[in-house]
Amino acid sequence: MMPMTVRQVAEAVQGRLIVPQTGDGVEDGADALATSAVSDSRQVREGSVFVAIAGERVDGHDFVARAGESGAVVALVQHEVDAPVAQIVVPDTVDALGLLAKANIAARRAAGTPFTLIGITGSVGKTTTKDLMAALLSTLGSTVAPVGSFNNEIGLPLTALKVGRDTRFFVAEMGASHVGEITRLTTIAPPDIAVVLKVGCAHLGEFGSVERIAQAKSEIVQGLVPDGLAVLNADDAHVAAMAPLAPQGHVFWFGMAGDDAEASAGNAASGKSDALFASDVRTDDGDRPSFTLERADGGTAHVQLAIRGTHNVMNALAAASVAHLLGVPLQSIAETLSRQSRISPHRMAVSTVRRGGMSFTLIDDSFNANPDSMRAGLDGLARWRSDEDPYRIAVLGAMLELGGDESALHEGIGEYAAGLPIDAVIAVGNDDEHFDALASALAKGARKRRDDSDGNTPEVHWVHDIDQADTLVRALAGDHDDTVVLLKGSHASGLSALAQRWTTADGQPSDHE
């Protein structure tokens, strides 16, 4: 955080400052220096601004006194708290957090040294692209990026407040479930470069249509600084259509080259001088993709990704485009991408799980799910190879916020899974009737495809909690020496808890029951 006095913090958030008084009535603390901001009292250190947020289960106002004892110089509150620490009273602490972050970014820009803010949005791939981009830009200078998917009205400002005098790059992930949310985020942190990955059907139930999703994602392009640059996926027609929104027409394209392009808008990536594209995409037996990274002027580099899934080629390509624009040589981009084997948790994370006398390979992609990412995860499972053709199990949970077509979309994913070389499909519900019904639709679709097929098709199971899924997976893995299991579902489906049960906190193999 750019250093500010408590008084300057109050001015930035337009709040009423209340400071403790010494015994002789003199106010104490208004000129204390704030050097960080947190919303978790356990993260408070000397010089922190503590932001008291009233959540559904925990009210941060209950921890103001503890924050003061731990070194906080001031607390942002919605009402005065009986605690011996300076407080700034505001109508809404989340709004105030945004104002403070906005002031911090403005102060960093005013410092006069090079600083670039990159915003990333899209229906899928934001966090992986952010992780890869942060690794690439870190080779050029100090880079701030969010942990996990800190991409909303709380997560983005908290990350923006980690930007300090020495920060060269800030990679900001921007998510949305409603029109207008990304506009709000770009008001806090206006990007110099805006990356749009894909318009899919995540949050379809909230938006109402794919066109509305595209409108929401386009807000990041409209939020660019006046001389900003849009980095757009040429192979997504909804994204390509955002080009006219870029300031002064400043657009850089990325996409698949030649025959690999899907619905490319005139194959823009390979036909433009301002473009980077991928060709000759292949995967190894562990579903790790390789490809040729090509500049429009003919420069090339071979990339071998350490992360899994061909869908990550586009994520790597987007990250590489920004790094290329900022001066990283193509060969250095390829070398850095090849070293990135660990990204944010529960995203195609592979480990060996040992439980009792049996073991299996786990592909943990349980952080979140929508139809696009479900198909990508299932494709990865289908491509998995080892010494022998493995026994493949897809453990699938519900996808949320898909609107009125959610049952049909779940049935469609079940049918898709059953059409792949997968040996077992396990649809997992829970004690929520809605989740259980969606799991039932997954199983229904898989059974329909199985019953209509003349070839080898998977066995299909519908279970009602992760305990039943655990028992079933262990039984199947015990009967097959070489088993690989995909976990895929929305976070609220609870499959990430099953992943945590199977692995330790650091992702290493678990040997205990």
Which H or E run includes 194?
A: strand 193-196
User: What residues are paired with 361 via a beta bridge?
Assistant: 352, 484
Asked whether residue 125 is marked as a ligand-binding residue, the answer is yes
Residue 1, token pair as written in the block: 């955080």
Query: What angle (nearest 5°) sits at the alpha carbon of residue 372, between those of residues 196 and 201?
Result: 70
Tokens 């580099």 -> residue: 301
Give dist(CA 465, CA 56) in Å, integer.
Answer: 25
User: What residues are paired with 427 via a beta bridge?
Assistant: 396, 462
How many other C-beta atoms lie within 10 A of the C-beta of residue 133?
A: 28
How many other C-beta atoms lie within 10 A of the C-beta of residue 24?
A: 5
Query: What angle (nearest 5°) sits at the alpha carbon of residue 266, between those of residues 265 and 267?
Result: 90
* Torsion sign (Cα): 243, 266, 312, 316: negative
Asked whether residue 123 is marked as a ligand-binding residue, the answer is yes
Which H or E run includes 449?
A: helix 433-452
Sheet holding 289-295, edge to edge: 143-144, 169-173, 116-121, 193-196, 229-233, 251-256, 275-283, 289-295, 300-304
Asked whether residue 122 is marked as a ligand-binding residue, the answer is yes
DSSP codes, 313-338: HHHHHHHHHHHHHTT--HHHHHHHHH
Give dist(CA 459, CA 354) in Å, integer.
Answer: 24
Burial tier of 357 (Cβ tally within 10 Å: 0-12, 13-18, 19+): exposed
Give dist(CA 159, CA 105) in Å, integer.
Answer: 11
Asked whether residue 19 is marked as a ligand-binding residue, the answer is no
Residue 113, token pair as written in the block: 């040294």
Contact 74, 34 (CB under 8 A): yes
Q: Phi/psi of residue 190, each to 5°?
A: -65, 125
Asked whether residue 128 is marked as a ligand-binding residue, the answer is yes
Give dist(CA 270, CA 252) in Å, integer.
Answer: 11
Asked whether residue 328 is marked as a ligand-binding residue, the answer is no
User: What residues are paired with 445 via a beta bridge?
Assistant: none
Asked whether residue 124 is marked as a ligand-binding residue, the answer is yes
Give dist(CA 224, CA 217) in Å, integer.
Answer: 13
Binding positions: 122-128
Known binding residues for ATP are: 122-128
